[in-house]
Amino acid sequence: MDLEARSLWEDTAQVLMEFPVFEGVKDVDIAIIGGGITGLTAAMLLSQAGKNVLLLEAKTIGLGTTGNSTGNLYSVVDEHLSVLRNKWNADVMKAVVSSRAAAVSLIENTINRYAIDCDFHRQPFTLFAEHLTKEVETFIEDEYDALREAGLNPVILDDAGLPYQTKRALQIKDQAQFHPLRYVRQLASMISEKCEIYENSRVTELDEEKGILKTEKGQIKANHILMATHTPVGNYLIQTLLAPYREFGVAAPLNDPVFPGGIYWGLNDPKHSVRSFRNNGQNYVMAIGDRFKTGQHEDTEKYVSGLKSYLTERLPVSDLSYFWGGQQYRSADGLPYIGKHGERVYFMTGFAADGLTYGTLAAMIVSDQILGKSNSWEELYKVGRFTPVRSAKNFIVENIDVAVQYLKDVPWNVDPEFLSEIKPGEGKVISLDHEKVAVYKDPDWRLHIVSAVCTHMKCVVNWNQSEKTWDCPCHGSRFDVDGKVIEGPALQDLPVKKE
């Protein structure tokens, strides 16, 4: 598979404004790191309150996690409410649902306020089974009970109403879908008169105590620093409570049969979600799912192939030219970490696969904290909560996994002549002069050689063949073939090595 990763959202969203690179020195009330839905929502709320806000985006607005999402907005969670209720209790489950519903309402109100054209529609959310097992039947019963207790009025259906056979479905109404990249790009354009927005301005250093952020061309001093980066950039203990995963999405034109609107999550393994989208008179269908640990699978192409097979076996699609990858960080106890850390830094992380809604909610909570307002959900998601019983199993499993990545020796401890055996378009980690190096051979047979040691906490990166990236298996940092940081928590690039 030699396709370049590109989402359907990126191909159908116009670039409205290009924001400058940050240069110089500046003092501000609030510095926001990250220009996705979380950062931009916080920038909107805080600038509306009269705060002096500056936002730094490492790449271009929305092309991180937001532009590689599903565009689904819902009150439930991907771990499922019945699981959340068992891990916590019914009151916590209800609070999660009400907080996420409030976030979806804020998105809807923002769209109406600024007349944002992003295909926002209220839609049903449906869990469906293509074949029934005892486990699936039991889950549907438990989830129905949890949804009912949460006040979401679920109904059990004989089938999901999809254009292929399904056996049983569980549905709730009044959830939503939109075009995530159109939303954030238009929102950035609308609020840019009240706050400063910069693109291609990656933070390379952060002094939390002094409130100083450095980019390649400038320096900012801020009273408050918001990390809207999906996981905190830099080294923090909270990263031991976060497990990085990736999952892919694929999309294709679909002319017939008609695919209904709505959010559809499959219950059979491997789990996939499907949805439709219409652009300029053309219908599309997309499938997302089958997540895997970041940096721990060299053969990532099998996940893309699995998604393509899922669609082609059920629908008359052939032009599967869109595929993309998205990163998620899953917390140890099933809830995000949102709020103040230390004197001036704010974390917003651990959203799992629910980031569009949780990111908006995080911006609401943190903005209220900065403005001195009370927030009903601040305590529920606080960064400093300690939940040893609810976190223990996941914490132990994930951190044993991280330890294994530190201790293992990659299997390419070979002579430099092995460089000639790397095929064009492939990457390998090898031992060269007693040092781990990451080697990529491009289609023109040029070698790109960088250190294989992640600059975050010294794990050895692994090759991601589908996306042509070097991914860290410990805390999820990702780098391009020339060692440039794609996403944190790493702040520094992988050092370039000479051939």
pLDDT tens, 314-326?
A: 999 988 889 999 8
295 by Cβ neighbours in 10 Å (0-12 / 13-18 / 19+) ranks as buried
pLDDT of residue 414: 39
Q: Are residues 320 and 424 in the same domain?
A: no
**64, part of any domain:** yes
Q: Are residues 324 and 437 in the same domain?
A: no
pLDDT-derived band at 387 (thresholds 50, 70, 90) equals: low
Reading the block at residue 15, the tokens are 């670039």
**324, part of any domain:** yes
pLDDT-derived band at 420 (thresholds 50, 70, 90) equals: low
d(CA 456, CA 475): 8
pLDDT of residue 386: 57
**Mean pLDDT to the nearest integer, 15-39:** 96
**277, part of any domain:** no
pLDDT-derived band at 447 (thresholds 50, 70, 90) equals: confident
pLDDT of residue 411: 35
pLDDT-derived band at 406 (thresholds 50, 70, 90) equals: very low
Q: Are residues 316 and 447 in the same domain?
A: no
CATH number for the domain that contains residue 344: 3.50.50.60
Q: Are residues 239 and 370 in the same domain?
A: yes
pLDDT of residue 408: 45
**Mean pLDDT to the nearest integer, 244-258:** 90
pLDDT of residue 404: 46
pLDDT-derived band at 419 (thresholds 50, 70, 90) equals: low
pLDDT tens, 263-298?
A: 999 999 999 999 999 999 999 999 999 898 888 877
Domain count, the chain: 2
Percent of the chain with pLDDT over 90: 69
- More confident position, 395 or 324: 324
Q: What is the pTM of this model?
A: 0.87
- More confident position, 4 or 160: 160
**pLDDT at 76 exceeding the cut of 90:** yes
pLDDT of residue 235: 82
**pLDDT at 413 exceeding the cut of 50:** no
Last residue of a domain, one of 407, 433, 459: 407
Last residue of a domain, one of 383, 407, 431: 407
pLDDT tens, 87-105?
A: 999 999 999 999 999 999 9
**pLDDT at 399 exceeding the cut of 80:** no
Contact 144, 169 (CB under 8 A): no
> Considering just the CA atoms, what is the radius of gyration of the chain in Å?
22
Last residue of a domain, one of 375, 407, 439: 407
Q: Are residues 19 and 71 in the same domain?
A: yes
Q: Are residues 315 and 426 in the same domain?
A: no
**Biggest alpha carbon–alpha carbon distance for the chain:** 64
Q: Are residues 196 and 98 in the same domain?
A: yes
pLDDT-derived band at 415 (thresholds 50, 70, 90) equals: very low
**pLDDT at 416 exceeding the cut of 80:** no
pLDDT tens, 351-361?
A: 999 999 999 99
**275, part of any domain:** no
Residues recorded for the chain: 499
**284, part of any domain:** no
Percent of the chain with pLDDT over 70: 92
pLDDT of residue 491: 85
**163, part of any domain:** no
Domain that holds residue 301: 1-117+178-245+297-407
Query: Residue 434 corresponds to which amino acid?
Result: H
pLDDT tens, 203-224?
A: 999 999 999 999 999 999 999 9
d(CA 270, CA 274): 13
**pLDDT at 417 exceeding the cut of 60:** no
pLDDT-derived band at 446 (thresholds 50, 70, 90) equals: confident
pLDDT tens, 221-241?
A: 999 999 999 888 888 888 888
- CA angle centred on 390, ends 101 and 93, rounded to 5°: 20
The CB density around residue 390, as the number of other CB atoms within 10 Å, is: 18
Contact 283, 276 (CB under 8 A): yes
pLDDT of residue 388: 54
CATH number for the domain that contains residue 461: 2.102.10.10
pLDDT of residue 467: 87
**357, part of any domain:** yes
3-state secondary structure the chain: CCCCCECHHHHCCCCCCCCCCCCEEEEEEEEEECCCHHHHHHHHHHHHCCCCEEEECCCCCCCCCHHHCCCEECCCCCCCHHHHHHHCCHHHHHHHHHHHHHHHHHHHHHHHHHCCCCCCEEEEEEEEECCCCHHHHHHHHHHHHHHHHCCCCCEEECCCCCCCCCCEEEEEEEEEECCHHHHHHHHHHHHCCCCEEECCCCEEEEECCCCEEEECCEEEEEEEEEECCCCCCCCCHHHHHEEEEEEEEEEEECCCCCCCCCEEEECCCCCEEEEEEEECCEEEEEEEEEEEECCCCCCCHHHHHHHHHHHHCCCCCCCCCEEEEEEEEEECCCCCEEEEECCCEEEEECECCCHHHHHHHHHHHHHHHHHCCCCCCCCCCCCCCCCHHHHHHHHHHHHHHHHHHHHCCCCCCCCHHHHHHCCCCEEEEEEECCEEEEEEECCCCCEEEEECECCCCCCECEEECCCCEEECCCCCCEECCCCCEEECCCCCCCCECCC
**168, part of any domain:** no
Q: Are residues 309 and 379 in the same domain?
A: yes
d(CA 323, CA 369): 38
Is the dihedral angle over the CA atoms 242, 125, 66, 372 positive or is it negative? negative
Q: Are residues 200 and 220 in the same domain?
A: yes
Query: Residue 32 corresponds to which amino acid?
Result: I
Q: Are residues 355 and 479 in the same domain?
A: no
Q: Are residues 90 and 19 in the same domain?
A: yes
**pLDDT at 2 exceeding the cut of 60:** no
The whole-chain average pLDDT of the chain stands at 90
d(CA 233, CA 223): 18
Q: Are residues 231 and 353 in the same domain?
A: yes
**pLDDT at 384 exceeding the cut of 90:** no
**Mean pLDDT to the nearest integer, 29-58:** 98
